[in-house]
Amino acid sequence: MSKNIKSIDIPLPATATIPVFADNAKTVLERRYLKKNEQGEVQEEPWEMLWRVARTIAGADALYRPEQPLDKLARQFYEMMARRDFLPNSPTLMNAGRVLGQLSACFVLPVEDSMESIFEAIKQTALIHKSGGGTGFSFSRIRPRNDVVHSTKGVSSGPISFMNVFDGATETIKQGGTRRGANMAILRVDHPDIMDFIKVKADLGLLNNFNLSVAITDNFMQAVANNEDYDLLNPRNNEVVARKSATKVFRQIVKQAWLSGEPGIVFIDRINADNPTPAVGAIESTNPCGEQPLLPHESCNLGSLNLSHMVKDGKVDFAKLKEIVELSVHFLDNVVDVNHYPLPIIEKTTKENRKIGLGVMGFADMLIQLGRPYSSPEAVKTAEEVMGFIDRTAGDASSRLAEKRGSFPNFKKSIYAVGPDSRPMRNATRTTIAPTGTISLLAGCSSGVEPLFAVAFVRRVMDNDEFFEVNPLFAELAEEQGFYSKDLLKKIAEQGSVQGIEEIPRKYRRIFETAHDITPKNHIDIQAAFQKHTNNAVSKTINFGHLATEDDVMEAYQLAYSLGCKGVTIYRDGCRDNQVLNIGKTDKKPGKEGERLIKRDRPRRLNGSTYQMTTGCGPMYVTINEDDDHQVFELFNTVGKAGGCAASQCEAIGRLVSLAWRSGMPPEPVVKQLIGISCHKPAGFGNNRVVSCADAIAQAIRQHLEKTNGCKDASLQGETMFGACPECGGVIEHEGGCCICHACGYSECA
């Protein structure tokens, strides 16, 4: 932070708004955001946090108008946040006005084709993750596997081997931190190792700290359209080393995304077509959720407008929206100056372009208030109209700031310095649609530009009590119209949707659509509508039903490309078999009517193996017995000298697993249901990490299957983020290219 930035040490006026947060939002604030002492005791109230942030960010104005008092601006920033009309990204809320002071969420680091560059990037990654940021990388410059290394006369191990080193470093760093390290790995589609990259997460035990995306070029998409081959280029010398069928590669991307949700795709040429500073350098990567393309060593700070607060008398309140956009641009530009950057080169590069990313949350809530279904043409029109207004207003606000403070230093190398429409510009980019899982929970609105996650769902608290979390707009409407009841909420929570529930009038069922009620095309139409008026990119998950085909996914990718999207992330419901949903049911194929399972009698003698596992409750011994046909038959387990709940729960699991196996169920579904379940006493690190007794049982079964089959089953490997929330056990939902728990605010990408 500059020495010229004043510290505004004034009390909050008595007339200020005191924010009211829901119970789950209070829990998230206490766990993640509010100051704590060395004993972990919370030392500030939510309003104090917001006042701390407002005073700190307003202090940057001292650089440009030192004679002006800053208390008025601090109050404006505070009121905007306290009324939850706008919230900045999580690092700003957590760290502004505190010792760490690192306020950016997004970073991109360069990875060149040398050991020096690779391990320098790993060191820089560690410092960024320590400060609470996420990192994106392009590994496209690293020479392919088995390519020549002249200095040693050996051969290269390729980009994927080095990605594993980054992943291991992140795993180590996050063990001692409060925020997960999040990474994005991008590889160009014309890299010789592209097929290995596409398939790498077929083994779910690999690269758990990475999101993967393929950088797809316009030439590649043209080759797909024409069913042609395309060139693979060695990045060491840019020579063509092979040609490959574009259709075959595209189908492999589609297949793997259909199977597991990864890799995503980014349309890298389209991203660079909108690069505001092409003379400075080309964009090769994005942040972990894909919405923020950045140059090497650039960072970006984000914030989101609450669109649910921008409706008045059944219409969009453009006057209020204009006021909040202008104040938000001022706020985010100040963050660039106040920020404590983790590395000097990041501070230099960031301040040369001063990129900010103003986005939105609560779009689904806005549509409900306007009476427009998410899947309707009116919703698409609303998205274009609202985001177009935000983008124009943000551009005008940035231009006015430039007149007072000067344009960003690289302005003369930018697209704004040429042409008949040239004008001063303070920020190289102004708008980004980010995932807002945690801050939208604080704001009490829907996430980003996603449809509703659910109208009602069950939330479990620490003592296993259950209560219904219901969309406040639905609760208000249902009470007004006289059809609100606890039985109705239970039915909605079980079904995961209001569709088909006769107690709810059809016109309201239509308005309260959820993510699984609409088609992938509806998702893409909304993403494309926002992308038309967004400088950077739009983070959005395209949801598919369980029975969707690979061709359905391929059509969605092609539609997204044709409509001008900059990237796509898809998720097919239940594609990772250990996904645990507590809303609705996956549309799986039914069994034969009248089919009945028969439990086999136990022989007097069985052979088996015993596996020792280390758990947070002590050593566990898992015995798996097989029948004469070498099929698993029963499972016993004991947990050290543990008694009480731990022992009884483990015995119960063993009995139920044995019953399932004796009734003919194969072992794999048991592993997939138990693996990754978390408790408050995990044990071990990395590949040896056991997150609960249930997880230990699953890992023992997996080891037994590997021993008897002589190979690993990739579908059973490792802890994934596609099951129960690791913090509260709630449902993990896929939104904005990330994994979010709506019950407690947990975010994989935080």
For the question of residue 728 being annotated catalytic, the response is no
Contacts by 25-34, CB closer than 8 A, 24 or more apart: 25/441, 25/442, 25/444, 25/745, 27/744, 27/745, 28/438, 28/441, 28/442, 28/744, 28/745, 29/442, 31/744, 31/745, 32/90, 32/94, 32/178, 32/438, 32/745, 32/750, 33/90, 33/93, 33/94
Q: What is the DSSP string of 162-223?
A: HHHHHHHHHHHHHHTSSS---EEEEEETTSTTHHHHHHGGGSTTS-TTEEEEEEE-HHHHHH
Task: Give me the count of residues in the chain.
Answer: 750
Other Cβ atoms within 10 Å of 117 Cβ, number: 15
Q: Rounded to whole angstroms, what are the CA distances from 396 to 88, 319, 387, 568? A: 20, 15, 14, 30
The span from the CA of 567 to the CA of 288, in Å, is: 13
Cα–Cα distance for residue pair 574/261, rounded to 1 Å: 10
CA triplet 275, 280, 284: central angle to 5 degrees?
Answer: 55
Distance (Å, whole) CA 101 – CA 338: 8
| 1, 100, 422, 516 from 354: Cα distances, Å | 15, 21, 18, 38
Contact 691, 614 (CB under 8 A): no
Instruction: Report whether 5 contacts 59 (CB < 8 A).
Output: yes
Vertex 657 angle, CA 656 and 663, to 5°: 90
| CB neighbourhood size of 588 (10 A) | 10
**Number of CB atoms found within 10 A of residue 541's CB:** 27
Residue 498, CA distances (Å) to 161, 318, 338, 483, 546 in order: 47, 31, 46, 13, 19
Residues paired with 456 in a beta bridge: 470
Q: How far is CA 561 from CA 197, 442, 518, 602, in A?
A: 21, 34, 20, 58
Residue 222: closest CA among 192, 248, 247: 247
Q: Which residues contact 155 (CB under 8 A, 6 or more apart)?
A: 145, 146, 147, 148, 149
How far apart, in whole angstroms, are the C-alpha atoms of residue 512 and residue 374? 8
Q: Is 617 a catalytic residue?
A: no
- Whether 95 and 133 have beta carbons less than 8 Å apart is answered as no
Query: With contact defined as beta carbons under 8 Å apart, do 563 and 506 qualify?
Result: no
CA distance 667 to 631: 9
* DSSP per-residue string spanning 17-72: ------HHHHHHIIIIIS-B-TT--B---HHHHHHHHHHHHHGGGGGT-TTS--HH
User: Is 45 an active-site residue?
Assistant: no
Token representation of residue 606: 């069985």
Rounded Cα–Cα distance for residues 330 and 74 (Å)? 12
User: Could you tell me the two tokens for 219?
Assistant: 């030439």
CA–CA separation, 145 and 157 (whole Å): 5
Most distant CA atoms of the chain, gap in Å: 91
Per annotation, catalytic residue among 287, 301, 410, 536: 287
- Helices assigned H by DSSP within 539-643: 550-562
φ/ψ of 683, rounded to 5, equals -145, 145
Report the SS3 class of residue 606. Answer: coil
Q: Which position among 262, 284, 291, 748 bears the catalytic label?
A: 291
Catalytic: which of 289, 445, 650, 679? 289
For residue 46, CA distances in Å to 11, 261, 324, 436 come to: 15, 36, 21, 19
Question: Which residues are catalytically annotated?
Answer: 287, 289, 291
